[in-house]
Amino acid sequence: MPHPVVFDLFHTLVHGGDPERDRVIGEMARTVGVEPAALVAAYHATWRERMTGWDTVETVRTLARRLGGTPTEEQVVRAAAHRRELAVRLLGNVPAATLAVLDALRADGHPIGLVSNATAETAEAWRSSPLARRIDVAVFSCEVGLAKPDPAIYRTAAERLGVDPTECYFVGDGADGELAGATAVGMTVLRTTEHNDTDPAWAGHVLTTLGDLPALLRER
């Protein structure tokens, strides 16, 4: 029986868009009246809070006030809209080759899951992404209050797929210690470097292109 394949999202299925993220945060800062570089730094420093609880508007409001800003609610909402628009762009820009890989895996009978350290705007944008209809179970940190490499987030994905974690493959670039987290619950880990060589010290199997995955799994 084909084994479930659980993917990471950013830098694995889609580009992370890191420079674009910082540019957008700079635009948001000008909207709410704080220093762009300071807001970028605050976003990076609060990644766990943003990925496990805060919604998009709450994030803008909280960080702007911490930086001494006094934005109106209209300004906060307008700034948050920039972040939501970015999420839609990133999740809409899925390489055709990636979609072909997912289609091939589904044709081979592999259930497909997703575990993503993601903020609220990513989860909101997910429904309009071409990825959504190709993935059976999507677990977002902002919705379950857990972030990789917490073992519980991987177990949540496996449970929703109806299997034990030891039956799953995990495919990711390695950000946030995700490869070690997947290994800890017994998943078979495949590191991808197609979009970013995030964890070069990882000693396991490496996919330089996601397109090699269907054939690799057929051989196993």
The token pair that represents 86 in the structure block: 């970015």
Residues 126 and 40 in one domain: no
Q: Report the C-alpha gap between 77 and 3 in whole angstroms.
A: 43
Residues 86 and 98 in one domain: no
pLDDT at 220: 84
Out of 91, 123, 155, pick the residue that ends a domain: 91
Residues 25 and 99 in one domain: no
pLDDT at 1: 76
> 20 Cβ partners below 8 Å, 6+ apart?
86, 89, 90
Containing H/E element for 10?
A: none
pLDDT at 18: 87
CB atoms within 10 A of CB 66: 13
pLDDT at 205: 94
Residue 178's φ and ψ, nearest 5 degrees, are -65, -30
165 preceded by a cis bond (ω within 30 of 0)? no
pLDDT at 17: 87
CA atoms in the 13 A half-sphere facing the CB of 16: 19
Which range of residues forms the domain containing residue 114?
5-14+94-219
Report helix angle 73-92 to 56-66, nearest 10: 130
> 203 Cβ partners below 8 Å, 6+ apart?
none
CATH number where 136 lies: 3.40.50.1000
The token pair that represents 184 in the structure block: 């800890």
pLDDT per 10-residue tile (average), the chain, 220 residues: 95 93 96 98 96 95 97 98 96 96 98 97 96 98 97 98 98 97 98 95 95 95
Full-model pTM: 0.95
